[in-house]
Amino acid sequence: MLTVICETPGTLRAEQRERPVRGPGEVLLRVKRVGVCGTDLHIFTGNQPFLQYPRVMGHELSGVVEEAEPGGRLAVGDVCYVMPYLSCGTCVACRQGKTNCCVNIQVLGVHRDGAFTEYLALPEAFVHKADGVSLDQAAMIEFLAIGAHAVRRGNVQPGQRVLVVGAGPIGMAAMIFARLRGAEVTAIDGRQDRVDFCQRELGVAHTVTLGEGDAERLSAITGGEFFDQVFDATGNAKAIERGFGFVAHGGTYVLISVVRDTITFSDPEFHKRETTLLGSRNATTEDFETVLAAMRAGQVPTAALNTHRMALADVPADFSRLLDPAQGVVKAIVEI
């Protein structure tokens, strides 16, 4: 089977590997679509903090069941999506139902080889039917679930003023699900094309482009009060630190991003606002189901989000162009 490996930062290589053998309790999945995530781009550029090379990237995937456990809940031919966070089920987090931050988590494409390949053998518990959505849509569920999880973590309420800092795919996912909860959403990003996309395709209420006067613009949008909820999806330490200043008194700050750096903030400012600070990692089964229901209801503009496509065989040659802002990439999908 064709497999694409990231050997070292900046180096991708295609090779033939043996097709995996399904073990007890596993399904063999024929991979059909893989979404390219910011994590994959960080792996390619050498900025992913939880990874060792070489690695087969790819954790946003859909496929068709090739082999399944007799009598199990999946059958040959089922179209499926995958929860790529392989949790242990027994640690302190898993016992609380917080499988997204399992102590022993193995994330496909990060801690173990992922989906830039033709077949994967996976525990059946992490493979789910994608009835009612396309293969393309099923491959987008995971990144959208991260945004849905962050919004659920923040407990966004109708009428709240929400700021999403960073208009990449994860930030866009947070915008989509904050709006579905009835929030008034503002997007801020350094790229004009991204904030324009958010207004045109996602229907956010306000957009601000980073630069001189941006804080004043955010203040004006909220009558000087700033935002009930701020979500950071930048992956930039300085942006995260700056975002504390955009949280209203009594507000909540949710960090979806993960960075290598130590984050600092003004304790007096933090306390006088009685800010709630939350980390948001990955997603749970509940969040995946939230996304699936929204897709089935036509509430997620998946066709607009999928801006680029490539074949698996073309990944070594073409992957680097996804890093070029001029390409206008929102979500690229690899077809297998």
- Cβ atoms 301, 202 nearer than 8 A: yes
Condensed to tens digits (0 to 9), the pLDDT of residues 278-327 reads 999 999 999 999 999 999 999 999 999 999 999 999 999 999 999 999 99
Mean pLDDT of 150-157: 98
* pLDDT reported for residue 46: 83
* pLDDT reported for residue 173: 98
* Mean pLDDT, the chain, integer: 96
Q: At what angle do helices 285-296 and 169-180 cross, to 10 degrees?
A: 70
Structure-block tokens of residue 177: 């699900």
Condensed to tens digits (0 to 9), the pLDDT of residues 261-292 reads 899 999 999 999 999 999 999 999 999 999 99
What's the DSSP call for residue 94? G
Instruction: Return the closest-CA partner of residue 97 out of 287, 331, 291.
Output: 287
* pLDDT reported for residue 234: 95
Mean pLDDT of 223-250: 97
* pLDDT reported for residue 258: 87
Does 86 have pLDDT greater than 90?
yes
Instruction: Return the closest-CA partner of residue 33 out of 176, 173, 191, 143.
Output: 143
Structure-block tokens of residue 302: 């998946």
Q: What is the reported pTM?
A: 0.94
Whose tokens are 């995946």? That residue is 288
User: What confidence category does residue 141 fall into, taking pLDDT thresholds of 50, 70 and 90?
Assistant: very high
Residues contacting 229, CB < 8 A, separation 6+: 154, 156, 160, 161, 162, 163, 178, 183, 251, 252, 253, 254
The Cα–Cα gap between 321 and 255 comes to 28
What's the DSSP call for residue 72? S
Does 21 have pLDDT greater than 70?
yes
* pLDDT reported for residue 262: 92
* pLDDT reported for residue 49: 64
User: Could you tell me the sign of the dihedral formed by the alpha carbons of 75, 77, 81, 87, in that order?
Assistant: positive
- Cβ atoms 11, 55 nearer than 8 A: no
* pLDDT reported for residue 51: 76
Mean pLDDT of 10-14: 94
* pLDDT reported for residue 39: 86
Mean pLDDT of 32-54: 86
Does 105 have pLDDT greater than 80?
yes
Whose tokens are 């929860």? That residue is 83
Before 54, cis peptide (omega within 30)?
A: yes
User: Could you tell me the sign of the dihedral formed by the alpha carbons of 105, 112, 231, 151, in that order?
Assistant: negative
> Where do the domains of the chain lie, and which CATH numbers do they carry?
2-131+301-335 (3.90.180.10), 148-279 (3.40.50.720)
* pLDDT reported for residue 47: 72
